Structures are given as structure tokens and as C-alpha cells.
Amino acid sequence: TMSYSTPASSSNLVFRQLFEKESSTYTYLLADASHPDKPALLIDPVDKMVDRDISLIQELGLKLIYAMNTHVHADHVTGTGLLKKKVPGVKSVISTASGSKADLHVEPGDKIYIGDFFLEVRATPGHTSGCVTYVTGEGSGQPQPRMAFTGDALLIRGCGRTDFQGGSSQQLYNSVHSQIFTLPKDTLLYPAHDYRGFTVTTVGEEMQYNPRLTKDEDTFKSIMENLKLAYPKMIDIAVPANMVCGLQDVEAKAS
């Protein structure tokens, strides 16, 4: 039976999905409104949208603690560097496996707390070797249904490419099946991108309708090997910048 997309509910959760049109990137804001500080985090911020994000955070009276990435993006420059410059005290977060610079390196199983809410880190390599999925906690007081921020591992009715940045179709297949499809079927999945105007999906939906990941592993690998995608436009700028939290460090090095 189908799992529906009832939005996650918790009276204290502040949640916003934000979009950047040029790279079709979603950034996510989460905060705990019950805590006196109203601590907040951003997942996959985009450099040129940082002023929008900061102004929203200020208007909502939140305190930004973490600026996190699901992986080293090849299609846009992360906002983490600019956020660290503009909002004192913000810590950048990325997986150890990404090999990139950050204030805080996370490992599978780690929990990142904002107030009473936490995100659990799951390793979902395959699009890049350092990709992680951040999943809201289990248990009372945590958002129900759970929410998973899948980066480019799982997209809505799709998945990220596996032909660059240490990508591997076999790894991606195993990551999605072992780390994402094992979540409750009503878990809301929020990807780093969507190119057709979808905003959210569920585990149940993707298990039933994902045109790639519902196939067996060999078929999946052959689909991924035959995509014949163009060389990513932004990769030569974005990857080096993102390896050091954002563009401004690269500029400093170049000068």
C-alpha cells in the first residue's frame, strides 16, 4: 500500500524548503523553536542565496549553528564559507569520507543536535564517495513521519550520476537499498535537487516507482553506465571550492 506525503509534524519544528533555480538546488532549514536559543541548521546552502537564507533566519528569530553539506557538490558552490563569514559562530559540517575541509567532520551513526531535535548520519556513497544522508531522529518528540535529506543519492524518481567524484553505481544501489529503503515507508525524502518541480517524495513511493532503483542491481548498473551525460558545467569551479567550504578560500589561495 502507498505511503502518503503527510508533512512531518512536531509543534516545535521549524522547517523550510528553499530553492535555487539555476542549479535546481534545494536548501533546507530546520530549527527547534522550543529551545530558548532557537538553534537552527541549514543543509546544502548555495553561495548566491546566502543573503536570502540569513535574512529568513533572522526574521524567524533563529540562531544558525550548523551549515551542512550532504556531499561535495559539482553543480554549485556551497554557501558554508559565506555563512561562516557572515554569521559568527556557524560551524561547517561534512562527512569525513568527503575528504573536504570543514569545522566538523561526521561519520555514519553520528547525531547532530539542534535543541531537542537531531539528525542521524547515514553513509550513502555512490554519487560521490563521501555522500551522506541526514535523517531526523526516531522516538518521541522527533518529527513524525521521519524526514531524510538524501542529497544526490536518491532523487525524486531518479538518482545522482555515478561517473565522477569517486562515483560507483554498485555502491549507490547498495546505499539506497540498505540505508534509505530500510526507513519507514512514510519517511519523507527531501533531495538536493529536482528538475521537474517536485518538492518531496516518500520511501514507499520510490520503492514502488523509482524508474532506476526498483530494478535489479545489474539492470541499474547498466542504466547508469549508459546515461551518456555531458561533462558537468560547474564541476571545475565548484568541486575545488567545495573542498574548502566555499569559494572565498579558493580566491584567497589564488591571490
Residues of this chain that interact with a second copy (CB under 8 A) are 2, 4-21, 24, 27, 33, 49, 52, 56, 59-61, 196-200, 205, 208-209
CA distance 227 to 167: 14
Q: Minimum CB separation from a second copy for residue 212, in Å?
A: 15
Specify the residue, 4 or 222, whose C-beta has the smaller distance to a second copy: 4
Q: Long-range pairs for 119-123 at CB < 8 Å and ≥24 separation?
A: 119/30, 119/41, 119/149, 121/95, 122/148, 122/179, 122/180, 123/95, 123/97, 123/175, 123/179
Specify the residue, 70 or 201, whose C-beta has the smaller distance to a second copy: 201
From the list Fe ion, a second copy, none, pick the one residue 152 interacts with, judged by a Cβ distance below 5 to 8 Å according to partner type: Fe ion
Q: Minimum CB separation from Fe ion for residue 23, in Å?
A: 10
CA distance 254 to 186: 47
If one asks whether residue 194 binds Fe ion (CB under 5 A), the answer comes out as: no
Q: Of 56, 60, 64, which Cα lies nearest the Cα of 90?
A: 64
**What are the residues whose beta carbons fall under 8 Å from the beta carbon of 239, sequence distance 6 or more?**
72, 73, 74, 165
Specify the residue, 131 or 146, whose C-beta has the smaller distance to a second copy: 146
Per CB under 5 A, contacts with Fe ion among 35-54 are: none
CA distance 138 to 160: 27
Q: Minimum CB separation from Fe ion for residue 142, in Å?
A: 27
From the list a second copy, Fe ion, none, pick the one residue 209 interacts with, judged by a Cβ distance below 5 to 8 Å according to partner type: a second copy
Q: Minimum CB separation from a second copy for residue 137, in Å?
A: 16
Q: Which three cell numbers stand for residue 141?
A: 518528540
Give the residue, chosen from 152, 186, 205, 206, that forms a contact with Fe ion under the rule CB under 5 A: 152
From the list Fe ion, a second copy, none, pick the one residue 61 interacts with, judged by a Cβ distance below 5 to 8 Å according to partner type: a second copy
Binding site for Fe ion (CB under 5 A): 73, 152
